[in-house]
Amino acid sequence: MRNDILYRVRTVIRATTSERRRLKELEEETGIASTNWKNVWTGRQRPTAHMIEALARRWPQYAFWIATGLTDTDNGHTAPTGAWTAGQPRTNKAAEATAVRYFEFQILAQDSVYGTNGALESDFGDLKATEKQKVNDLEHAIAHIAYERRKSALQAKFPDFDADAPFQFKSYSAITDELNSERRYVRDEPEKPNTP
């Protein structure tokens, strides 16, 4: 079985989006135009660095696996269900959920300090200068909307975090300590079987 970056990116896309709206969902979640995702999904191009970064920030539990093909369950890095991992361990659902909360909080804190880097990619090809500007403006708008939407969702998950508060790093430390404690607690618990 082929286990390269294209396989891993497509596996994460398959696991995190619906079949019917796959490309539109990717655009909404990452801020990268659906036409660019279509080229990756159909195998016409390999994923770019911006695409890999966007997937890793949106689904951080899969970031390490996307980049390396390895899992690191002790630190919350796993692969989607059904992904080929060469027998590497998978984390239990509770441990994965707490790791995702931890990663999402770290992303929120980073974005609160640094904001978005505004990096976009475009394949302008043979477009004229005015058409290039229109495409660039549209892609910036898509990226900005996706960024603001995701930041709002993360802020709703962590209402105690206020980046503008005078003691922001105190609240950051408290929340990080709480999340680390929660991760340590559930990491080694066996997953409970589903019973009717």
Q: What is the pLDDT of residue 166?
A: 59
Paired with 140 in beta bridges are: none
Integer CA distances (angstroms), 147 to 73, 96, 132, in order: 28, 23, 22
Question: 140 versus 13: which is more confidently predicted?
Answer: 13
How does residue 21 score in pLDDT terms, banded at 50, 70 and 90? very high
**Category of 189 on φ-ψ map: left (φ > 0), alpha (ψ -120 to 50) or beta:** beta
What would the mean pLDDT of 4-31 be, rounded to a whole number? 94
Tell me 73's DSSP state: G
> Does the pLDDT at position 23 exceed 90?
yes
Q: pLDDT of 145-174, one tens digit each?
A: 777 888 888 888 888 777 666 556 556 677
| Tens digit of each residue's pLDDT (9 = 90 or more) over 182-195 | 777 776 565 555 44
pLDDT in tens, 83-100: 888 888 777 777 788 888
CA distance 128 to 131: 5
d(CA 136, CA 81): 36
Bridge partner residues of 31 (DSSP)? none
Pick 120 or 71 by higher pLDDT.
71
Partners of 77 in the β-ladder: 72
d(CA 167, CA 26): 36
Residue 82 predicted with pLDDT over 90: no
Is the pLDDT score of 124 beyond 60? no
- Res 165: pLDDT: 66
CB 57 within 8 A of CB 143: no
User: What CA–CA distance (Å, rounded) separates 110 from 80?
Assistant: 25
Contact 167, 51 (CB under 8 A): no
Structure tokens at 6: 């294209």
Say whether pLDDT at 12 is over 70. yes
Q: Flag whether pLDDT at 130 surpasses 90.
A: no
Supply the pLDDT for residue 123.
47
